Structure 1
Amino acid sequence: MYVLPNMDLWKGRTDSLIDKDEFRIHQIVKDNQTTSVNNTCGIIGFSCEEGVRRNKGRLGSKEAPNEIRKSLSSLSWHGQSADSLVDFGNIICENQQLEAAQAELGRHVEKILSKNISCYFRGRT
């Protein structure tokens, strides 16, 4: 099941409202309504612990995508001023249907890549 991004997860300290060299990640992240853009990195979460459960591991990994967003949110932004980050939400594994969730993740990654969204930033020099 696909879930839209929760933009409320992206919050944190703000050092500047105008100097992009002082921005934090929560200030540049956009929701998935963004169309094809140069210098854009996209993220999508896979909220699933079915593989862990099948292998008798320790459960809890399904919380990781949103916890990662929270942790990234206040980090300093080191991209160029034209760079951006787009949150594409999460794929959630329901009813122990791991293979179906993986297939859905693949379809969403394909859509992201078709928009020419990558994960490469030049960084500031």
Structure 2
Amino acid sequence: MYKLAQRELWTGRIDSETDEKQFRHFQTIQFRNIKEESNESRHGVGILGYAVDKGVELNKGRLGASEGPNAIKQNFANLPVVRECAVYDYGNVEHDHETLEETQQEFGHYVATSIQRHNQTFLLGGGHDIAYAQYLGTREAYPDASIGVINIDAHFDTREEGKSTSGTSFRQILEEDNNADYLVLGIQQGGNTQGLFDYAEEKNIGYVYSDELLHQISPPIKDKIERFIHDHDVIMFTICMDVIDSAFAPGVSANAVLGLFPHVVLELAKRIIPNEKVSTISIAETNPKYDVDNRTAKLTAHFFHHFIL
């Protein structure tokens, strides 16, 4: 179910009402209905929330991620505007269909609309089943393209369940689309069964262990990312906040031990997002119910802030 943006989320400190160099995002955000027609040329950034944790429930995770999109927007609202770029909040999609797949299809169609309208589309979760919905929208927008899926995550999320959950998105993509490939950065050995590693080998999934990303990104890993981007027409980029150590991101559906430091994730993203092939970025699994002092929501908002081109 699609719901329009909640304007009351966008509040913050006013440093000036006239000097644009002192504005914060809540002073410049624009609100749009994704269902309304638009004749404008492609520009700016679209934001769409996936206020859904049904996939997390089906994956036996901690509920609360459906509150993530609004928490992220609230924390992003007060951050300063540092780039002249129009940002549009399209509101959220909630789960009210009979199946999760129907909600993902609805969301995916709105994603395709945002891709057609904007230079960047930011998708705020919600469970990581947002990734399959993101893929549906990407494929709708680019029906003949080779899609490279890059995921910064502690988990492969390639479970075989026979239905959508927060742990199945990337298997669904690979099983349905012969013109899509998958690269995961931040995999933890303790977070994935041997069967998932076997599936990765079977499907030629590229992956980098979290242990290889503890302090810096080595030249071979940089080359791996650059080659993957080069080999595809379109890049679908997604981050699961549970890849980050729980000291920095306690408010997630499955908190991480020995996770990545936030600056490593930022550095990885800098290798990916500036490429013109990247039109959608999703950030999944922010769960305010388990957050501490809005630590995770603030971190997600800062990621978003840094990712705007």
TM-score > 0.5, shorter chain as reference: yes
1:64 aligns with 2:68: yes
Encode CA deviations 1:6-58: one digit per residue, 9 max, x unaligned: 11110110111121111101011000159435641110000111111011110
Whole-angstrom distance in 2 between the partners of 1:20 and 1:101: 39
Whole-angstrom distance in 1 between the partners of 2:22 and 2:44: 19
CA contact (8 A) 1:28 1:85 kept: yes
Q: Which residue of 2 aligns with 1:28?
A: 28
Counterpart residue type for residue 65 of structure 1: P
3-state SS of 2:50 partner? strand
Q: Which residue of 2 aligns with 1:73?
A: 77
Whole-angstrom distance in 2 between the partners of 1:63 and 1:37: 32
Whole-angstrom distance in 1 between the partners of 2:48 and 2:63: 20
| TM-score normalised over the length of structure 2 | 0.36
Report the identity percentage. 32
Q: Which residue of 1 aligns with 2:101?
A: 99
Query: Following superposition of structure 1 onto structure 2, how do residues 106-121 of structure 1 map, counting pairs within 5 Å?
Result: 106-115=108-117, 117-119=118-120, 121=308
3-state SS of 1:16 partner? coil
Equivalent residue pairs, number: 119
| TM-score normalised over the length of structure 1 | 0.86
Whole-angstrom distance in 2 between the partners of 1:16 and 1:49: 38
Whole-angstrom distance in 2 between the partners of 1:96 and 1:78: 42
Gaps (5+ residues) in structure 1? none
Shift of 1:114: 2.0
Shift of 1:97: 2.4
Runs in 1 of length 4+ with deviation above 3 angstroms? Answer: none
Q: Which residue of 1 aligns with 2:50?
A: 46
Larger Rg: 2
3-state SS of 1:77 partner? coil
Whole-angstrom distance in 1 between the partners of 2:42 and 2:96: 34
Change in 2 beyond 3 A, CA 1:114/1:95? closer
Change in 2 beyond 3 A, CA 1:76/1:96? farther
Counterpart residue type for residue 104 of structure 1: E
CA contact (8 A) 1:39 1:121 kept: no
Encode CA deviations 1:46-73: one digit per residue, 9 max, x unaligned: 0111111011110000000111111101
Q: Which residue of 1 aligns with 2:12?
A: 12
Gaps (5+ residues) in structure 2? 121-306
Deviates more, 1:98-107 or 1:88-97: 88-97
Counterpart residue type for residue 84 of structure 1: A
CA contact (8 A) 2:2 2:92 kept: yes
Change in 2 beyond 3 A, CA 1:107/1:53? same
Encode CA deviations 1:85-112: one digit per residue, 9 max, x unaligned: 1001101112562111110111101111
- What is the root-mean-square deviation in Å for CA atoms of aligned residues? 1.9
Whole-angstrom distance in 2 between the partners of 1:63 and 1:102: 17
Counterpart residue type for residue 108 of structure 1: Y
Whole-angstrom distance in 2 between the partners of 1:113 and 1:46: 16
